[in-house]
Structure 1
């Protein structure tokens, strides 16, 4: 089999494995994302802001438990191609950056992750998040048939946003999303790759057990949000706005940041960091575990190839 055929086959495997991993991650972790968004959108009212547990309980009590899954349709529609694109583009950039002997440094692994983050942000993540945030921001009970929300579901929300505000609204905050995804995936893939490589060396095996993959995915997933929480909070506020604004994107970003600090202090930039870590970290644990499992199912490597691969990582 030619190198080109092998590369094509691996790309298809990365797409399918990444898409499947994304689907499982969304189903397991979406409620935490809804809580995070509500915390980030909370405005000071003279009372102490509710914590992530109280926010979740309030949503479930006032709007039913299913309200924790608001925006899931937008996520599922977007996350399958997002994860497929993330892993396939990461492997693509990683192959481009490998040395003549097939080795790759941590710095180049980071760059491959940054490239994957920017690619997914522009092509999938930003439009998906604008729709998701609009749905999650709606305070309505899903148990009351008379409480009709403006946005009924993800396709309806996307249609209304484009109709009322223009297609470019789906790309509101794209620079922040790209910066967030770039730092997230740069840190995520670098830490995951190095921890995985270390475990492979220590145990003398290419294939790690699922619980180890989950643990290193959990660790790598927790570090990204800590590096870019302010970007995520400002992005959420920016994408939630429904009015047209002709101000320069950077001007609006600075204005939202200054307003947040003025109203609630610097710590406001880290609103929702706890549920975000609680959502992203286990999400990455699920993602990497399912991804590695699916790769093993779709394209199990012969033992001779496993030994060679372990020397190149």
Structure 2
């Protein structure tokens, strides 16, 4: 590989890192309250009363714990969002590079596989530890309006420290198989639908750079499809990662046990707890992510020649 080629590859990696990090930060700031509501809905246990819906859950959190409680766990997300998005986009492009033919084309199936690979990679390297910490923070029912109401976990670094100290480092990887399965399906569907719709609009409008509203629209559509395909995985994962007790059972044994117990006590619909706020969080999140990512990437590479990739 020549020096110029090496420099170009380094620049592409830096662009993916910066653009992905900025996009992820905007996504977290815009959509984290919806994620907190989703987690509370998934952790709600049947008590003879009808489970509160999306709006009521959010209102209850604000009334009892303060508006800023909707941002519980944001620190864990922000700390992990830059490497997460950098790994997501750079690994996706890396896996895609194996599939291009001599004309630079790639099939829809190959795009899906690259997305699956990106989802698994980000799960292991960043997402699972970040989510264990985030869920522990979000699950705390303490009021941020009362200075005397001191929670067990004060912030993301403190929560991570306490979890490792009390339960061991491996606790940060509790539910990793479910996280990998969720992220793999999410990113497989996400990147495939986004790439397909983007290529279609580029070809139809005979333009390489789409307006932001179209990027947001296809990001919204692609982001909404993933949660529908893996909601039960996400609900079981949340229950598993919230638990703080140690167990000698294997991960899959506990996963199956939690799933069976959930269905037995609360019915099959319990597996889809939080699906409304999850879609409302993930879909706009992907719209924000792709729009900001494309915008920042275009700013950083405006001097380069880009060619739209065709999906067969």
Answer yes or no: same fold by TM over 0.5: yes
Task: State the shift of 1:199 in Å.
Answer: 0.3
Per-residue deviation, residues 60-80 of structure 1 (Å, max 9, x unmatched): 000000000000000000111
Matched, 1:122 2:124: yes
**1:310 paired residue among 296, 308, 311:** 308
**1:139 paired residue among 131, 138, 141:** 141
Task: State the shift of 1:311 in Å.
Answer: 5.9
Per-residue deviation, residues 22-43 of structure 1 (Å, max 9, x unmatched): 0000000000000000000000
Per-residue deviation, residues 70-117 of structure 1 (Å, max 9, x unmatched): 000000001111011101111111112211221100000000000000
Per-residue deviation, residues 236-289 of structure 1 (Å, max 9, x unmatched): 000000010010111000000001100111010000000000000000000000
Matched, 1:28 2:30: yes
- Aligned position for 1:189: 191
Per-residue deviation, residues 110-146 of structure 1 (Å, max 9, x unmatched): 0000000000000000000000000000001001011
Q: Within 5 A, what are the aligned runs for 1:269-280?
A: 269-280=271-282
Matched, 1:66 2:68: yes
- How has the CA–CA distance of structure 1 residues 103 and 41 changed in structure 2, closer, same or farther, with 3 Å as cutoff? same
Per-residue deviation, residues 174-226 of structure 1 (Å, max 9, x unmatched): 00000000000000000000000000001100000000000000000000000
- Aligned position for 1:4: 6
Q: Within 5 A, what are the aligned runs for 1:1-313?
A: 2-302=4-304, 305-306=305-306, 309-310=307-308, 312=310
Task: State the shift of 1:312 in Å.
Answer: 4.9
TM-score normalized by the length of structure 2:
0.97
CA distance in 2: counterparts of 1:111 and 1:271, whole angstroms:
28
- How has the CA–CA distance of structure 1 residues 203 and 144 changed in structure 2, closer, same or farther, with 3 Å as cutoff? same
In structure 1, the gaps of 5 or more residues are: none
- Residue 199 of structure 2 contacts residue 310 of structure 2 at CA under 8 Å; is this kept in 1? no
TM-score normalized by the length of structure 1:
0.97
Task: State the shift of 1:301 in Å.
Answer: 4.5
Task: State the shift of 1:7 in Å.
Answer: 1.7
Between Structure 1 and Structure 2, how many residues are aligned? 309
Q: Secondary structure at the match of 2:136?
A: helix
CA distance in 1: counterparts of 2:115 and 2:98, whole angstroms:
12
